[in-house]
């Protein structure tokens, strides 16, 4: 059996961007990656507009739920290979230490929940961010260090990040 890279996406409330990234990585390359998401202040539920963006192409929406990043810090937690912060407030020095000393990356996306805005604008921003995350995930899974994984061989190099998102 081939080892899968474990990737944790972080966002403050873990209800939109990190959930979208987790779902997309699982759907597009779940045979090579185990995807997780969490945040320091998890929301009560996945944001309905995030669910609406994912609904057409994601097979297991029921597996998605906001989680505290503390669930990934204990000795019993899965050992991540890579942690990707999608929010300035959780990047670098703000994030807790995760077991196994995973690489830490930061991808920058607008927060579709940041400000009060009319619902039509929020929906458009969600759609824009969704497609930015699709492009970023697609680029990430094609990085050379993961090419061997497509052929059933695991690279021993540490995971790398794609540059910051636009």
Q: Quick one: pLDDT at residue 90?
A: 81
Radius of gyration of the chain, Cα coordinates, nearest whole angstrom = 15
Q: Which CATH superfamily is domain 5-150 in?
A: Response regulator (3.40.50.2300)
Residue 44 is predicted with a pLDDT of 95
Phi, psi torsion values for 38, nearest 5 degrees: -165, 175
Q: For residue 113, what is the DSSP state? A: T
Distance of alpha carbon 45 from alpha carbon 80, whole angstroms: 24
**Are 50 and 126 spatial neighbours (Cβ–Cβ below 8 Å)?**
yes
CA quadruple 22, 149, 2, 80: dihedral, nearest 10: -40
Please give the pLDDT value at position 152.
43
Residues in the chain, pLDDT under 70: 1-2, 59, 92-93, 146-166
Helices (H) and strands (E) in the chain, counts: 4, 4
For 136, the token pair is 């970023």
Q: What is the pLDDT of residue 88?
A: 81
- Reported pTM: 0.86
Q: What pLDDT score does 165 carry?
A: 46
């Amino acid at each position: 059996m081939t080892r899968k890279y474990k990737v944790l996406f972080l966002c403050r409330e873990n209800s939109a961007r990190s959930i979208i990234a987790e779902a997309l990585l699982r759907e597009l390359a779940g045979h090579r990656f185990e995807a997780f998401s969490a945040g320091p202040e998890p929301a009560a539920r996945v944001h309905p507009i995030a669910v609406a963006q994912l609904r057409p192409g994601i097979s297991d929406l029921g597996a998605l739920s906001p989680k505290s990043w503390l669930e990934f810090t204990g000795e019993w937690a899965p050992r991540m290979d890579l942690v990707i912060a999608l929010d300035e407030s959780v990047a670098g020095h703000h994030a807790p230490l995760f077991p196994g000393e995973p690489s830490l990356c930061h991808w920058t996306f607008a927060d579709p929940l940041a400000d009060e805005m009319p619902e039509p604008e929020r929906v458009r921003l969600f759609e824009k961010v969704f497609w930015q995350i699709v492009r970023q995930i697609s680029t990430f899974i094609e990085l050379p260090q993961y090419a061997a994984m497509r052929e059933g061989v695991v690279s021993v190099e540490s995971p790398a990040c794609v540059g910051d998102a636009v």
